[in-house]
Amino acid sequence: MKKKARDTIFSVILILIMVTLVGYDVTGVHIQKIKIQKQIEEQERLGEEKIRLMEEKKKELELKREKTIIEIVEFDEKYRVIESEFFNEITRLPDVLSEKFINIDQLEEITVKRISYSKEFKKKLFQIENIPESLVDFYNFKVDFLNNDIETYTLLNDYYTGKSYSSSNNSKIKDSFYRNILLFLKAEEERIKVYEENDLDYLLD
């Protein structure tokens, strides 16, 4: 009888242990599911946040691009006027390198006018405010060209008027003219590059 009672008690204890273990296992699985669900939700939240940030960055870049385009167009409107004035003035001047001149006074007059036109262009260029960041290099190249242009025609004027007449100065003048061409092309290449990058190449026509 005592043995039967012990067996019964032992069986009850085993059942209780098994129920506890099963309950623990179910609870553990449930907790694990909750953790996984939280991880999934966190990943979704991070994914949504990443998408939101990407959209904000995209809008920011679009606004920046629009701002850049507006700045370039506004600059172009002002620059085109003074550039046109400059070209109209210098194209009316005879070519001092064409060897058609026999009058030194005429050569001096031409070089003085060219220097004056370049100085005036430079002055008006400096008066343009708010140079677009994308056109800063072009602006600096153009200033370099004008400075060199003034120097070139000053050397030429001094050469023809006898203020500085020598073979070394003749070579210096040729080098200065060559540099003038390079600086002008460098500035124009930079402007073309910026305009094309911003789909504004129609402004170059």
Q: Which of 171, 170, 178, 173 is nearest to 152 (CA)?
A: 173
pTM above 0.85, yes or no: no
The answer to whether residue 110 sits within a structural domain is yes
Q: State the residue for tokens 């023809």.
A: 160
Query: Does any domain span residue 146?
Result: yes
Two tokens, residue 58 = 């995209």
CB atoms near residue 189 (< 10 Å): 12
Instruction: Report yes or no on 34 lying in a domain.
Output: no
| 49 inside domain | no
Q: Residue 200: which domain range? A: 71-204
Question: What pLDDT does 203 receive?
Answer: 87
- pLDDT for 79 equals 95
In a domain, 142, yes or no: yes
**Calculated CA dihedral for residues 9, 11, 15, 20, nearest 10 degrees:** 60
Do residues 148 and 175 make contact, with C-beta atoms less than 8 angstroms apart? no
The domain total for the chain is 1
The verdict on residue 190 lying in a domain is yes
Position 25 in a domain: no
C-beta of residue 166 within 8 angstroms of C-beta of residue 172: no
**Residue 162 resides in a domain:** yes
What is the pLDDT at residue 126?
95
- Per-residue pLDDT 10s for the chain (205 aa) are 555 555 565 565 666 555 555 555 555 555 666 666 777 666 666 666 555 555 555 555 566 678 889 999 999 999 999 999 999 999 888 776 665 655 778 888 889 999 999 999 999 999 998 899 999 999 999 999 999 999 999 988 888 777 665 555 678 888 999 999 999 999 999 999 999 999 988 888 7
